[in-house]
Structure 1
Amino acid sequence: MKRIIGAALIVIVLTFGLAIPVSASSLGISPSKIDIEVPQGGSAIAEFKVYYYTGDLNVTLVDLPFEVEPKVIHATTSPTDVVLTFYASAMQPQDEYNGYVRFLSSGNTVALAVNIVATVTVSLSANIVDPPIRYGGGGGGGIPVYGYDADLFGTSDKLRIDYYGKVKDDVEAISNDGNLTISIAKNTTALGQDGKRLKGLAIEASENPPASPENKSIIGLPYTFSPSGATFDPPMELTWNYDPDALPEGTVEEELVIAFYDEAIEEWVELECVVNTSTSAITTSVSHFTDFAILAKTVDKKPDDAPIVVSPPQPIIKPEPQPLPTPITPVAPPPVVEPAKPSQQPVTITATPAPPPPVDTPRTASWWLIIGIVAGSIVVVGSIIVLKKRLDRSK
């Protein structure tokens, strides 16, 4: 039981010992142990904090076959952040090494050693980094800055970037034809697809760009920005000039856009842009690397030799006027004459013509009605006179 309790106490002490700074007099270093992997011919980073001490500290390695930078740390505050870079030669055997980093004050009054377990690895794809070219933060205790190759439109340059991915200088590059300008502001965080600091960049004209989307056409040269997946915070700025005289007929300049090719969905994605038609330039912000191009809407038009067919105007056919119905003139019926009864006494017969039935006639036929009535009356009167004469003769 005592052995179990003793082992538990040792574990607890070791656990807290790794979490708190190792101290000697007025010097503390945290953490007290670090495991790192160093590729052959490459380098690895280890970060420390220095507590309770201000002044210079000399850095040396014990039982570790590497080079270390910086060799002197300037501790100005408590805590002071320290980044050490360990370099392995290209001939370093692949093995695990257990040693120490020793921090010794300039007057050799205080010293501390931090346990380092370093494994040398061999990898054909290992990132071989340049030695730091400058240190910031007040001397050797600052964050190391690296110089990586930058191929900007065929021009070789150096991209200065620190351990955390901060770009140390303003970067501006212009394409060979003068149409495309990229601007990366100082202190922009530039990271690779693995989330670590960007280790170089390249921009070149795309020889085999993805096909343009439907109803769109690519204007000018598209460009490939690599490495694909690199990110920038804040985004870098693109200014892309175009030749208005070279635009397809019917293109509306205000509708030109810069687009990037999204490999995940295999489509061009349009960016928010500002088109300045007075300078023939399009401006946008880009936060990652891939293929970029200017896109314009495709305008459909008929061939110049296609005949234009104009349909003749159709005649307007007016309906023929229909004649009005002819009014019907009513005719009075003939008088009804009863035969005379034989008698010795003369009989006087008075025939009264029956009035004609009322007929609704248009006003235009009233004169014909009057003439008919007069004619009928004459006939009746004449018949009476003739009948009377016959009666008089018969007497």
Structure 2
Amino acid sequence: MKIQYCCALILLCALVAGVTADESVPSFPHEFWGTVTIGGSPAPAGTEIIAMIGGTGCGSITTTKSGTYGSSSRYDGNRLLVLANEDQAGATITFLVDGKEAGRTATFTPNGTTCLDLSVGSAVTPTPTSSSGGNSGGGSGGGSSSPTVTAAAPRVYTGQASLGSSKSGEVLESVKVRTADGSGSVTVPAGTTALDSRGDPLGEVSVTTLDPVTLPPVPAGNTLGIALTCGPDGATFDPAVTLTFTLTEDEWAGIDDPATLTVFLYDAAAGTWQEVPATVDPVTRTVTARVSHFSTYALAWPSVLKEVTASAGQEAAAATTATPPAETQTPGETLPLPVIGAGCLILLLAVIGVYSWKKRG
């Protein structure tokens, strides 16, 4: 019996060793978050995003907010987690947005965290057109429909990107360039005529955040929040391109009225700020503006201190208008002359009476 037990134990150990040898050790997940668009518009809540390595799904997430997936805060716990084995480190990750392959890829890095913006084009199916035969019957005379046309989503870069363009400066492929922290971006659609300061085809686009304290103050009554410099300086676009400011949840919550958010352009030659028309989207926490040339741009909002200062001024004014104290008067000034005369007469009579009394005695 002991021999049988020993044989069974040896067989079990061999089995476990064989399984362990065949299977790879799982690694820590790679976390992803960012924006997600479909056809250039924010993807609606409920959009499914799937991460794949080598054609195999290795993680998925369903969006809960329009235009974003995951969160910049690791404490929210709703990022896209890509799960793979240690021997797959360095493998290429592809992404599907509602079943369509996005134009971005990433490298699997165990225990890594990446902000990755995803986008796919929207499928547009034209109305079917009939052939010249026009017969509803079978054969070659039946109608035919045009193939599905997919609009190309812009390629997304961080910091800067090269522009492919024709000799006349017409951009051949849509490009989106975002800052490293995701607070700002510029989108240059295909077909835009992009020229540098000399009038030659523009070769690249860059977007960088600036420290607001290094800039001249914005018009009085406003607080400067996010500042961007877009380059190269002097570049022009026809039609205008899209400049986007993106606020975090905490930044958005700290603004009393997001509808008052304003975009300013700094005119270096005049040394002044100029307001630029902009659109505020509370769903994606973004503010977009159309700009025809590159410069320094800033996102600002009315200063909360205005109301506080006005209230304090009103209180101070009320304090200074208090009723003045009543004037004090001495008793001598308040006694009428007849009373004073009568008093003097009584005193004189008393003195005379005392003098007469002493003289008799």
Task: Answer whether TM exceeds 0.5 for this pair.
Answer: no
Q: Which bin holds the TM-score, normalised by the shorter protein?
A: 0.3 to 0.5
Q: State the TM-score, normalized to the length of structure 2.
A: 0.39
Richer in helix (by share): 2
TM-score normalized with structure 1 length: 0.36
